[in-house]
A = this chain, B = another copy of it.
């Protein structure tokens, strides 16, 4: 398995990406890691004389910045590390790529450089959101497309279901449609039209799921358009962040409250960590003719190593081929 890592993407790249790559290469000998980026900068973090044989460097002279306009950056910076990593997949020199860089640019790289799976109208970014039962929920789309058609939601549902089956081993992932009520006819025009499509899809559709039940683990795959998904995620983050900051204030109010806080802290720190969706691995960009994983910008070496673990499982399970087959099957069925 050849996994290209965008060495220059992320807040602390290339230190974290190189260190993560080395950790992964040492752990899994069946993996060939290709670090894509500026040779000199990468070399600075490589241990002299003891680089594992399954790590190579592929030079790329340019970098896409966090605040670059995605489409323009991907089109113009042809030698940017992210774009070059995408090209390695396109040309058959890599099977997967991982980047902690600019999200919009990575989606554009997936779309324009790697290419969509035939029949997929729109790729979807699918991070895992935390749930209280620790199993998590794959939510899609949480990418750059704000509006979606009912048919887009159908494809998100099928791709998400295949991902949870192949990569997480769930036999029958419960797919839910994010909505304002559980009854079938609830919702806006989009969800009302998507509902019957999801009912007929080759998935285990459990119906509408309300926003308040997502955290409780109401489903394994949550389907929504990018706008609503973003509102959901950000309001969960905002509320949790606000409550934790109030707790912090309460905890430091007096001598006794500081003492009390010390008792409660371990449990709450663990809980806070659980609520942090950045802890829940890299997000796959589904619907692309190759495996593309988005790691969080603040990823440390361990997060990069974990993304390699995810890529390994996805490649071994032939995720992309499964999505492609399912889409092809449906397309052929229609014709």
Contacts and interface: CB of A to CB of B under 8 A. Distances in A.
Given A246-B271, A260-B264, A261-B264, A211 B189 contact: no
Copies of this chain: 2
A263 B271 contact: no
B259 A271 contact: no
Interface in A142-181: 146-147, 178, 180
Interface string A226-238: 1110111011111
A189 B147 contact: yes
A268 B257 CA distance: 12
Interface residues of A, number: 49
Given A225-B188, A263-B256, A180 B235 contact: no
- Interface of A (DSSP majority class): helix
A215 B234 contact: no
Contacts of A268: 247, 250
A235 B214 contact: yes
A267 interface: yes
14 contacts: A132-B242, A146-B180, A147-B188, A180-B227, A187-B227, A210-B234, A212-B234, A216-B238, A228-B228, A231-B231, A231-B235, A243-B243, A250-B271, A257-B263
